[in-house]
Amino acid sequence: MSDAMDQEVEKQRSEQEVLKLSTLLVAQHRPEGVLRRVQVIINPAAGKDQPILKVLNAAFRPAGIDWDVVITKEAGDGRRLAEEAVKAGADAVVVHGGDGTVMEVASGLVGSDTPLAIIPGGTANVLSRELNIPVDLVEACSLIINPDALVRKIDVGKLDDHFFVLRAGMGFEADMVEGADRDLKDRMWLLAYTFSAMQALAEPTIARYRITLDGKLVETEGLTCMIANSGNVGTPGITLHPAINISDGLLDVIVVTKADLPSLVALVASVVGKSESPNTLQHWQARQVTVESDPPQNVQLDGEMVGSTPVSASLIPHAIRVIVPAVVDATP
């Protein structure tokens, strides 16, 4: 190989080793070993129709796991049910639903030692992809009962009175999420976000942002502002920004500054996981973030609408523990 190719291979290997090491630093084998009693929380409105109870029984019964199922019916149920499971002494809380449901259930585990197990059941399942949790139901259940699985500590953001695991989005991104309602997602799956984005592209609004980052004020104009805990957009290898890490104790603030059509198309492709992030991004990191906008903008939080600007966000480092696959040596 040429020197340039050798250097590129070494660079890739170095990046893989850093990623593997950073994951090991926040992941460990669960001390409780084999699970004996778990609480399953299911959002019946999320994702496509799948025989989840049959899959759960086929996995948990032979493993000797005692499991109960509860159903979410309205906003707030996921957090309440998770808190009740912790008080009842569950070895783990299993959630089946989309990112919004996962966020709710995770918020009920903040500060506890009870690990979260995720069985993806939504449209995008971004957090599952961030943590390399299998999308397939059978494989996800097999991970939960695997005694060699790891428990990874991840950060949780707090926006006013709401917790979030992925990110808060203002402006264009929030309008895109709001436009992809449940009926549209049921009919069009991931294409719902693309369809909604194209509608939001019709009349993009540029806002003036006043962003306070750990006490330092920054003013800029942009189409959308995101406060991210995770940079994953649902596709392996695609991230909003390479510096974003869900376990690093920092929030990442991103502003998309241009509203011309090529920049908007690049942003849409990035959000739905079809291209690299656009080069019109401004990026900062902080532990405390306040965002004001003129005009006020809608705000989405892990796929759920939560109000409008101004907002204040903070970070809780290593707030929850999640069952994840063991680290795989990625070197060639």
Is residue 61 located within the same domain as residue 127? yes
Residue 89, class by beta-carbon neighbours within 10 Å (0-12 exposed, 13-18 middle, 19+ buried)?
A: exposed
Give DSSP secondary structure letters for 221-245.
EESEEEEES--B-SSTT-BS-TT--
Is residue 201 located within the same domain as residue 224? yes
Is residue 131 located within the same domain as residue 208? no
Distance (Å, rounded) from C-alpha 133 to C-alpha 325?
Answer: 7
Range of the domain at 94: 31-148
User: Of the candidates 115, 148, 181, which is a domain's last residue?
Assistant: 148
User: Of the candidates 94, 120, 148, which is a domain's last residue?
Assistant: 148
Is residue 167 located within the same domain as residue 142? no
**For residue 35, what is the domain's CATH number?**
3.40.50.10330
For the chain, the domain total comes to 2
144 in any annotated domain: yes
Going residue by residue through the chain, which has 332 residues, state the pLDDT in tens, using 9 for 90 and above. 455 545 544 544 554 444 444 444 455 555 455 789 999 999 988 766 678 999 999 999 999 999 999 999 998 999 999 999 999 999 999 999 988 899 999 999 999 999 999 999 887 788 998 999 999 999 999 999 998 899 999 999 999 888 999 989 888 766 665 444 444 344 333 433 443 444 445 456 789 999 999 999 999 998 889 999 998 876 666 677 888 999 999 999 999 876 555 555 555 555 444 444 455 678 999 999 999 999 999 898 887 888 899 999 999 999 999 999 986 443 33
* Cβ pair 139, 120 in contact under 8 A: no
User: Of the candidates 125, 148, 171, which is a domain's last residue?
Assistant: 148
**For residue 313, what is the domain's CATH number?**
2.60.200.40
11 in any annotated domain: no
* Cβ pair 72, 96 in contact under 8 A: no
Is residue 195 located within the same domain as residue 91? no
